[in-house]
Amino acid sequence: MNDIRAKLKLDLQRIEKEQYEVREGERIQDFIPRMLKYIGDPDSELRDNLIYPTFYMWIQEGNKLSEEELRSLLAVLLDDEHLFNGIGSQNDQTVFTRTFTALAIVLIVRRHRQQPFLDIAEFQHLKKELLRYYAEEKDLRGYLEEGGWAHSAAHGADMFVELVQCSESDATVQREVLSAIQEVLYNGIHIFNEEEDERITNIIDVMIETERLPLAEIVEWISNLAQCADRPRSREQVIARVNSKNVLRSLYFRRVQEGRSEALLTAITAAENKVNRFATSKM
C-alpha cells in the first residue's frame, strides 16, 4: 500500500471514529480529491466501508458541502476518470470506479431533489450522462470474490430512482428511463442474480407513486417488455426473458397489496405469463 493511500485509510478510520468531523486545521475539501482518487479501490474496506460512508455523511446526513461544491464534485464524478473510467470493458477492476462513483452521484442527486441547486441545463446534462452510462456499461457482475460488490446495474438503478423523483423529471424523462431499463434487462450478456431486479423495480415503483407518467403508459411498457418472448430462441432471448420475468414478479409483489389498479396487475400477470416458458398454461 502506497503512503498516500495508507494515510487516507488511516485518516478516514479516524474521521469515522470521530463522528465524521474533521479536526481543527483540517478541511473537508482537502480530503475529497484523495477520496476521488481511490473511490474505486479494489480494497473493499477502503472503497465500501470508508470512502462511500464518508461521502454519505458529508453530503447527505451532515450537509457539509455547499451547492457550488456539490456542483463541482458532480462535474468530476461525471468525467472520463470516474463514471466513464474504462466504460465498455468487462471483467476488470475499473468497474469499481464506475459503480462507486454512481453511488456518490446518487447522494448529490438526492440533495438536489430535496433542495434544488442544478439549473435546467445542468439537470439535462446529468440525465444524458446517466442514460449514457447505463447504455454503455458492459460489466454487469454483482458480487466478486476479489473486490466485493461491483453491482453496476443496481447502482445505476439507484441513480435513476433519485433522478425520476426530481422536479425536472417530466414525462419525457420518465419514458427515457423506462427505455433504459428495458435495454439493461435485454443486455444479452448477464442474467441478474444479486437482487438487481429489486433495485430496478424501485424505479418503476417510484414512477407509479409519483404519477408523472400516466399509468396507462407504464401498463403499455410492461406489456411491451414481454415481447422478448416472441423472439427466436437464443441466449440473448433467454437473458431478456428471465431478467424481465424477475422484474415483473418483483413489481407484482410490490403492488398487489395496494390493489388500486386492476389494469396494472392484469398487465403484469399477462406479461409474466408470456415470458415464463414454464407457466402452467404452456405445459
Query: Cell numbers 395496494 label which residue?
Result: 258
Write down the number of H helices and E strands in the chain.
13, 2
pLDDT at position 253 is 93
Helix axes 196-210, 152-163, angle to 10 degrees: 10
Tell me the CB-side half-sphere exposure of residue 4, using CA atoms within 13 A.
9
Q: Which three cell numbers stand for residue 232?
A: 427466436
Q: Which three cell numbers stand for residue 60?
A: 447527505
68 burial type by CB count under 10 A (0-12 exposed, 13-18 middle, 19+ buried): exposed
Q: Give the phi and the psi of residue 116 in degrees, each rounded to 5.
A: -55, 135
Evaluate whether 196 touches 155 at the Cβ level (below 8 Å): no
CA distances from 163 to 23, 124, 257 (A): 34, 11, 26
Averaged over successive runs of 10 residues, the pLDDT of the chain (283 residues) comes to: 88 97 95 97 96 98 96 98 98 97 98 97 98 98 95 98 98 98 97 98 97 96 97 97 98 84 93 89 54
Q: Which residues pair with 149 in a beta bridge?
A: 143
DSSP state of 81: T
User: Closest Cα to residue 178, out of 206, 141, 155?
Assistant: 206
Tell me the one-letter amino acid at 242: V
238 CA to centre of own chain: 23
DSSP-H helix ranges across 137-234:
152-163, 171-185, 196-210, 215-225
Question: Hey, is 181 helix, strand or coil?
Answer: helix
Q: Which three cell numbers stand for residue 18?
A: 470521530
Query: Cell numbers 417488455 label which residue?
Result: 225
Tell me the one-letter amino acid at 244: S
Helix axes 94-114, 152-163, angle to 10 degrees: 20
